[in-house]
Structure 1
């Protein structure tokens, strides 16, 4: 019983995010003209996974008590790269995908190196690198355009076995291959420890530099997967500053909605994923209820505010920050 209580307490933010998403998605499909069909689920999944990947990227950095304001620009940069590299033969497409993912990994690694060895604040560092990444994206795609391998794009944005969204399957695969191994590794535990208390982690002999570097690097990799999927959905690349800034802010909102503490050390990428899916469902709800799109920021703000208030109840009850981890 004690173990179950610990698990529930440790994952209360994730459970809250799941509950919010389930309620909102149930309302959505209950009022959708087509009901709960594979097409409706696939469309919702395709829109949600874009923000989910960027939210996962932001989560890794936030767990170290940092924040990455460049994830949206990495997302945009890799979208522009993919629109010029991911096409042609199967071999050329594979090389292009590897190059795009490598670029995202490199961007995240650069952020990590500057924060760790340059000893600059993450928010300052990532504002600067985000501007650089956007400048490179603009140089690559001064006007929207490009192309992508249609076979790969259709395969990853369509349905598996005729009913299951391929984009959602990819998201699950990324969680299994990237998040879970990282969470259970020494580096993952180091990232959590750094976020909980940098000084205590250092005194305990935790590899704090390696943990931080891994978090930033993997964050860039996850953002680049989102950029790839944006290319698969749109069949083009666009150096849009508005897209980059929007996804950066929405990713932070999804992280908070998913129960990840902005103080670091608490939360899960799973919660951030459901936070992102719930955040995306707000727009879908406006569609089925035929409300003006201009109301969307208001509803997003209300949902986010409610989630922050609920998530803060536990912090209000504790007298010492360490009690939060009991």
Structure 2
């Protein structure tokens, strides 16, 4: 297989997600009352980046053939925490941001340790830990409220030079700083190997436990970035189980729509990001076409079901599991 065909096969899911997102957003903006304006793009970007960061968190774990059902609750917990500590002066706000990110890392570390040393299935371990994280969020914010450092929030949710959404620039920075070095590192390649076949990776001397632990650690970090950004958008914290559950399910849909295999070993966080933006645009399309709000959860559920089915359909076309990883 030639180099360009290999690269195309490797990035097919990401490219398809990108194309579908562009087409859907073009339809959305052309039918929006305000048209394709800076305000419309900024609002859509701020909503999309929230899900994109949670989808990135999910991707780290799914690549290892696991699944993290606590990402939504880490998202909620760090949102509540940020509304307490990312306040005051620029210095105290910066320390608060560090505290929020360390909390996300701690949540990811707890998940990783339970899965690796507790020998529990990821789905069971993360359901249990997610309940604990939500309980902590309730302790912090029994009722919605709080505040955040305004200048930082405005800078990250506004527009750069009055044109480009700052949230998209921040998301691109996260990809460059977090995802690209990870995916090209030895531990990142080990995560792909573990997702392809854990037993084969172990027999080949791949550090399986380290790869899994790093994946959960980065998942917690990405989810905490999402929680932090939610605080910047809303200027408050809220311990909402509905929010946590929805973002967890939507992150799975975004991952599949972005071409990441739920069976592990293939895919990219960049594809998951475009899958998240595409999933958000579906909701926006329902708004501009005046779909009855009562029907929207049903439609989103059908999209989620279709995404999972599409992600699994390729299994029926292969005779050898190795064919799943071109």
Length-normalised TM-score, structure 2: 0.97
Equivalent residue for 2:173? Answer: 173
Shift of 1:169: 0.6
How many Å apart are 1:294 and its aligned residue?
2.2
Task: Indicate the residue corresponding to 2:299 in structure 1.
Answer: 299
Shift of 1:307: 4.1
User: How many Å apart are 1:325 and its aligned residue?
Assistant: 1.8
1:282-293 counterparts in 2 under 5 A? 282-293=282-293
Report the counterpart of residue 148 of structure 1 in structure 2.
148
Tell me, what secondary structure is at the counterpart of 1:102? Answer: helix
Trace 1:1-326 onto structure 2 (pairs within 5 A).
Answer: 2-326=2-326
1:213-245 alpha-carbon deviations (Å, 9 max, x no partner): 110000000000000011011110011111111
How many Å apart are 1:306 and its aligned residue?
A: 4.4
- Which segment is superposed worse, 187-196 or 30-39? 30-39
Structure 2 gaps, min length 5: none
Task: Give the superposition deviation at 1:300.
Answer: 2.5
Residue by residue, what CA displacement relative to the aligned partner does 1:228-284 show, whole Å, maximum 9, x if unpaired? 011011110011111111111111111111111111111110111011111111111
Q: After superposition, what is the alpha-carbon deviation per residue over 1:124-181, rounded to whole angstroms, capped at 9, x for unaligned?
A: 1101110110111100111111110111111100001110001111100000000001
SS at 1:190 equivalent? helix
CA distance in 2, matches of 1:123, 1:108: 14
- Check 1:268–1:239 CA distance in 2 against 1; reply closer, same or farther (3 A cut): same
CA RMSD of aligned residues (A): 1.3
- Aligned mates of 2:150, 2:78 — CA distance in 1: 18
Q: Is the 8 A contact 1:13 1:311 kept in 2?
A: no
Distance 1:59 1:181 in 2: 15
The 4+ residue runs of structure 1 with deviation greater than 6 A are none
2:253 touches 2:308 (CA, 8 Å); kept in 1? no
Instruction: Give, in whole Å, the separation in 1 of the partners of 2:94 and 2:161.
Output: 24
Matched position secondary structure for 1:33:
coil
Whole-angstrom distance in 2 between the partners of 1:137 and 1:34: 37
In structure 1, the gaps of 5 or more residues are: none
Does 17-26 or 182-191 show the bigger shift? 17-26
Post-superposition CA distance 1:20-68 (Å, at most 9, x none): 2112111101111221111111100000011100000001001111111
Q: Confirm or deny: 8 A CA contact 1:42 1:159 kept in the other structure.
A: yes
CA distance in 1, matches of 2:312, 2:124: 26
Q: CA deviation at 1:110?
A: 0.8
Q: What is the TM-score normalised by the length of structure 1?
A: 0.97
Shift, 1:71, TM fit: 0.4
Aligned counterparts of 2:246 and 2:304: Cα–Cα separation in 1: 15
1:49/1:96 CA distance change after superposition, 3 Å: same
CA gap of 1:309–1:122, structure 2 versus 1, over 3 A, is closer
Write the distance in 1 (CA, Å) between the matches of 2:249 and 2:310: 20
Whole-Å Cα distance in 2 between the matches of residues 243 and 122 of structure 1?
21
Q: Using the TM superposition, give the Cα deviation of residue 312 of structure 1 relative to its aligned residue in structure 2, in angstroms.
A: 4.4
